[in-house]
Structure 1
Amino acid sequence: MKILTSNLLIIFLLILFSGCAKTQKTLIPVAGNYNFNKIEFEFYQQHFPKDESKYITKDFIEDKFNSEIIKNLTENNMLNKNSTDKLVISIYFRRIFKGEDFPIKKLRSDSIAFPRLSYSFKIIRNEKVLRYKERLNLIYNPGFIKNIQHILCLDETKEREVNAINALSKEIVEDIKQQNNY
């Protein structure tokens, strides 16, 4: 009797817990190549130095992102103007100056630090979002040598931002590429 009761209890618990298992939602396959025109771009800068001519402009940054993303999509055979899957990429770029948060203005620097970056992308078909991914508050890390050059102010300010744009553009396309595997 004891064995029968324990077996019934085990069977009851198995049925109870198997009913609580989460069913995984199946994802609609995506085309793998996308209709993409240009990014949605937002630029933010808190500190405005007197001589802004030595910094790249907001328009240059937006154009560079667009050209790098299109280049990376093309290299990976992921661009097709006739595709039913539309790709929407949004990028937030925050230019940061060293010491910009200091309350005393004289302690602020006109030297650029590495930018803060965020992005999201959507793959849309017939007005329905098939995939969505968002990454926030990213900081470009160029590696040990470049960081030392940055600390010693031996690198070019324009180079810091352009390298960050190139790296983020590749990362975005790699993330989109991963969506093809789901």
Structure 2
Amino acid sequence: MMASCASYSSPLYSSPPFALQNPKISSIPSPPQWLNHFGLTFQPKKRIRVRNLPPSPTVFCLRDPKATVVTGNSWDKLILNSEVPVLVEFYASWCGPCRMVHRVIDEIAAEYAGRVKCFMLHADSESEIAENYDIKAVPVVLLFKNGEKRDSVVGTMPKEFYVSAIEKVLTS
């Protein structure tokens, strides 16, 4: 069933009323005045068809993250008491650049397996630890060796920056 809208008039031109298939829409606003300024014309269609689109597919990440999540409860055991060097990425769930760094850290975790442990810490939910290490923005990657902070990489950087920092920590 077609629902017709209220009559349409504009100071620029007049046209017949629109016919819509959606009865919830009662009127259509007039076109902006600036259309004529740019030499554009607005020709309303007599009918607007609204088709029902299928819902967009849900995409799931099929890869297994190589870096494990660390919390305040496991911080001492996993980071400070580790016998091998540790890389910790401080991130936030709302941070777009952090997602890019996740991928790089996962690659590094796979390449340096057994030589470096990689972890991720949610800076918003573990704010006390973030404050202890003076984390003001994310993403930040800290490198620890023998329980001490040795190096840091701030921001989204190419993989080579992280690898260089890891190599320095491994050789020191």
TM over 0.5: no
Higher relative contact order (CA closer than 8 Å, sequence separation 6+): 1
Q: Which has the larger radius of gyration?
A: 2
- Provide TM-score, normalisation by structure 1: 0.29
The answer to which structure has the higher helix fraction is 1
